[in-house]
Amino acid sequence: MVSEFVLERVLEAIGALQTGHFLLASGRHSDRYVEKFELLRRPKLVEAACAELIRQLPWRDIDVVAGPTTGGILLAYEVARQLGVLAAYAERAESGAARRVFRRGTTFPQGTRVLVVDDILTTGGSVRETIVALQAYPVVVAGTAVLVDRSTAPVELGVPLVALARLEIASWDAAECPLCRRGLPLVKPGTSSPNHRPS
């Protein structure tokens, strides 16, 4: 059984919870980073984490589970599989704007109850974009669920949020980063080389 405490321990054990000097997608810097793909490449751990997430959901009448690319679609598939419902995937719009769309013949009948899932919540951007994309359809977004909430301030999504784990991870504007002042190499997650920029 995976619980909030155990999930954090699992993330540490598989090397997903990393320490260093990281450049986040938001442009902020942090001394800890959750490399979600260390978890997402392990199907049995994903299955167990999703099972515990489902146990914590207050909603039982879900028709579709939707997730944003990339990690969110893996979780949407697994949560939908365990619930015995359909999955839907919110992809980036071709324009490259901060917008997502549902493609590949995805339709939602009137009154469809949708659960939005994602891996890591930091600012809520991907989840919010998925919810906005769903507004084009006659659906009800019941709520959102994430594996890890690492936000440092309340994230307003307009719907209830369930998180399997909450991690307190500090982040700073680049100009205020204490790690930059110490001269530690800056690493952009997803790349193998530091992107150190002298302050």
The residue ranking higher by pLDDT, 161 or 96, is 161
Nearest by Cα to 102 from 141, 130, 140, 142: 130
Q: pTM value?
A: 0.85
Rg of the chain on CA atoms, in Å? 17
Whether 186 maps to a domain, the answer reads no
Whether 174 maps to a domain, the answer reads yes
Whether 177 maps to a domain, the answer reads yes
- Asked if residues 66 and 134 have their Cβ atoms less than 8 Å apart, the reply is yes
Q: What is the pLDDT of residues 75-108, one digit of tens each?
A: 999 999 999 999 999 998 876 566 898 998 899 9
Q: What is the pLDDT of residues 5-39, one digit of tens each?
A: 478 889 999 999 999 999 987 788 999 999 999 99
Whether 188 maps to a domain, the answer reads no
- Asked if residues 49 and 147 have their Cβ atoms less than 8 Å apart, the reply is yes
Whether 195 maps to a domain, the answer reads no
Whether 197 maps to a domain, the answer reads no
Whether 91 maps to a domain, the answer reads yes
Whether 128 maps to a domain, the answer reads yes
Domain that holds residue 107: 4-181
Q: What is the pLDDT of residues 36-78, one digit of tens each?
A: 999 999 999 999 999 999 999 998 899 999 999 889 999 999 9
CATH of the domain at 164: 3.40.50.2020
Task: Count how many domains the chain has.
Answer: 1
